[in-house]
Structure 1
Amino acid sequence: MKIVTWNVNSIRVRLPNVTRWLNNHQPDVVLLQELKCLNEAFPRQELEDLGYNVAVHGQKTYNGVAILSKSPIEDITYGLPNFSEDLQARYIEAVVGKVRVASVYIPNGQEVGSPAYVYKMAFLGKLHSHLQHLLTYDEACVIGGDYNIAPTDQDVYDAGVWADKVLCSKPERKAFQALCHLGYQDAVRLRHPGVGPFTWWDYRAGAFLANKGLRIDHLLLSPLATDRLQDCGVDAAPRADEKASDHAPVWCTLNV
């Protein structure tokens, strides 16, 4: 089973890019973030025509997450079940085949200490509690998405420039490590030690051509999923396309 997470930064704007990539790579499960549209505006038919079942948790203009699967999508959860007061569309979870998957879009945080940062940390706390609960299930779980956290200095093109800034601050990194300490593994790091590979590059100042990126999109695997991991990586090629998202797809393959 090939599982992909991709922040598409507006599904309607990027639809030609997304459908072309899906046709070329044929992943079994796709976890999308930052749809920027309501459910009724999501291009369901175009993606169903490619052979995918679709589950969408949309929101006007901002946020939005979705799961695409070539297998039936079952037991769908819209939003973090322990964070019902959160009105933003940032989490969707379901079972596809023998794997429970979730697409998560963690808040950016804007600036350390800001109200948006406080919300981000609250969201991470609720996510931690829920992922801990998922480990009680006898299921392989893959939690993919835009975490908006570069976990270590190796995930940043210039650690000095980003030191203590949002995406790289100590509390954010500690919260990410706390997810891993539950028993989840950072799939890319299991196969790709060292600096990078990056998953996000700013649109400004030629950041992509200079490879001035950050690794903020992740696939976290439960122990049962980790045992089945075959390979994983980042496909940076779509970032070079015309009208590209500023994020690249991150993928893993599991033996299921």
Structure 2
Amino acid sequence: MDQVLSWLESEQPDLLCLQETKVDDPLFPLEAFKSAGWHVHIHGQKAYNGVALISREPLEDVRCGFIGELPDDAEANELGAQKRVISALLNGVRVLNLYVPNGSSLKSEKYPYKLAWLGCLKRYLDAQEQRGEPLCMVGDFNIGLEARDLPDPDRQTGGIMASDAERQALRDALGERLQDVFRVFEPDSGHWSWWDYRSGAWDRDRGWRIDHIYLCDELLGLARSCVIHKGIRGNQQPSDHAPVSVDLDWPPTDDDGDEPFF
């Protein structure tokens, strides 16, 4: 908690998207953020999952769960039992914050659940597109989409978080509309956002890049930078993920005024 507040104070983003908050909404530490001047929207559950939006200015049209775009979709309603989806408008941009299921293993019952979830995400994005809002989609995707996102692709490709079915399901959801902004600035391998606690991955720098920011074409050309804040992972008692940020020249201007940063 202290590390999150410290990062907010030092970086001053317009919006911070949190995943895996693991707490029921009544127990979320709202006051700690509000007393520091931040606006908070949460969608959580006890011990598992949970997403939140922490913003400098008030957000508009906050929507929780897949039913935020798919109110009549029975599967969206069923999948909504796990709190993994929240979105809102920030300066006219729809920001979608996701915590994608891990899948556990290819033989686990959680694996087909993950694929069904990604299929529902595609329908969700198709519905959102109809409103014509510019879209920024962020989160822990629990998928290394390409070989360069894995430390040992020859061995890891085909396994959980790197299977053909997971990758194709995410690509289907992205379609032609959404692009990985980090790869605009950093095309090479060796950039990680998650280091497993259990395998000493941090000490060996053997991470995965599974935390992504996807932008529609309208926003992609306005991106000034996309950065993995790797140093945060080296803190005492850190998250196993490092923050990822994007800096946008939005709304488009000819001057050097404030731009959305999240």
Question: Is the CA contact 1:108–1:167 (under 8 Å) kept in the aligned structure 2?
Answer: yes
Partner Cα separation in structure 2 for residue 30 and residue 153 of structure 1: 28
For residue 77 of structure 1, what is the aligned residue in structure 2?
63
Residue in 2 that maps onto 1:166: 160
Contact 2:149 2:192 in 1 (8 A): yes
Residue 247 of structure 1 pairs with residue 244 of structure 2: no
TM normalised by structure 1 equals: 0.91
Give secondary structure in 2 for the equivalent of 1:209: helix
RMSD: 1.2
Give the whole-Å Cα distance in 2 for the aligned partners of 1:118 and 1:248.
28
Instruction: Indicate which of 219, 223, 226 corresponds to 1:232.
Output: 226
Deviation at 1:160, TM superposition (A): 2.4
Tell me if the contact between 1:132 and 1:182 (Cα under 8 Å) persists in the aligned partners: no
Q: TM-score, normalization: structure 2?
A: 0.89
Post-superposition offset of 1:115? 1.2
Which SS does the other structure have where 2:127 is aligned?
Answer: helix
Q: 1:172 deviation in Å?
A: 0.7
What is the distance in 2 between the residues matched to 1:123 and 1:180? 14
Structure 2: gaps spanning 5 or more residues: 71-75, 251-262
Match status 1:63 vs 2:49: yes
Asked if 1:99 corresponds to 2:85, the answer is: no
**What are the within-5 Å matches in structure 2 for residues 17-32 of structure 1?**
17-32=3-18
Which residue pairs with 1:155 in the alignment?
A: 149
Separation of aligned partners in 1, 2:159 and 2:92: 39
Supply the distance in 1 between the matched residues of 2:170 and 2:138 (Cα, whole angstroms). 13
- What's the offset of the Cα at 1:204? 2.5
Task: Say whether 1:54 aligns with 2:40.
Answer: yes
Structure 1 spans left out of the alignment, 5+ residues: 1-14
Kindly indicate whether residue 109 of structure 2 is the aligned counterpart of residue 123 of structure 1.
no
Task: Report % sequence identity.
Answer: 36
2:216 corresponding residue in structure 1: 222
1:72 touches 1:97 (CA, 8 Å); kept in 2? no
**Structure number with bigger Rg:** 2
Higher relative contact order (CA closer than 8 Å, sequence separation 6+) = 1
Structure with a larger share of its residues in strand: 1
Question: Any idea what SS the aligned residue of 1:178 has?
Answer: helix
**Distance in 1 between the 2:5 and 2:39 partners?**
14
